[in-house]
Amino acid sequence: MTKADLAEKIHTTMGLSKKDSLETLEAVLSLMKSTLETGEKIKLTGFGSFEVKQKKDRIGRNPQTGEIITIEARSVLTFKPSVVLKTKINGQKP
């Protein structure tokens, strides 16, 4: 599903114009991006949570040459689905 598909779903379910639906979606995504950039966690009840985690330096190996290299520390975005979402995806009743 693309951003355009999401905006279309908002348009059909909420009755907003297509332009307003896209602007609303853009505003929500922009807010989520800026929140995650500051390191805050986003928790959406019944859906899941987004969090930026820090990974430390670690030793890795180049698979082509076998050379040992250091993989530098970095930030990664993680998503943990809620129990409600997990049960719906697995076809179980909550």
Mean pLDDT (the chain, rounded): 94
Instruction: Find tokens 């307003």 and name the residue.
Output: 20
What confidence score (pLDDT) does residue 94 get?
A: 59
Distance CA 25, CA 41 (A): 19
Q: What is the pLDDT of residues 81-94, one digit of tens each?
A: 999 999 999 987 75
State in Å, rounded, how far the first CA of the chain is from the last one: 25
CATH topology of domain 41-94: HU Protein; Chain A (4.10.520)
**CA distances, 18 to each of 11, 28, 32, 79 (Å):** 6, 15, 21, 29
| pLDDT exceeds cutoff 70 at 15 | yes
Show me where the domains of the chain are located: 1-38, 41-94
What confidence score (pLDDT) does residue 91 get?
A: 86
Q: Which strands form 42-44's sheet, in the order they lie side by side? A: 42-44, 48-55, 74-81
Tokens of 9: 């779903």
Q: What is the pLDDT of residues 59-83, one digit of tens each?
A: 999 999 999 999 999 999 999 999 9
Side-chain-side CA neighbours of residue 28 (13 Å): 11
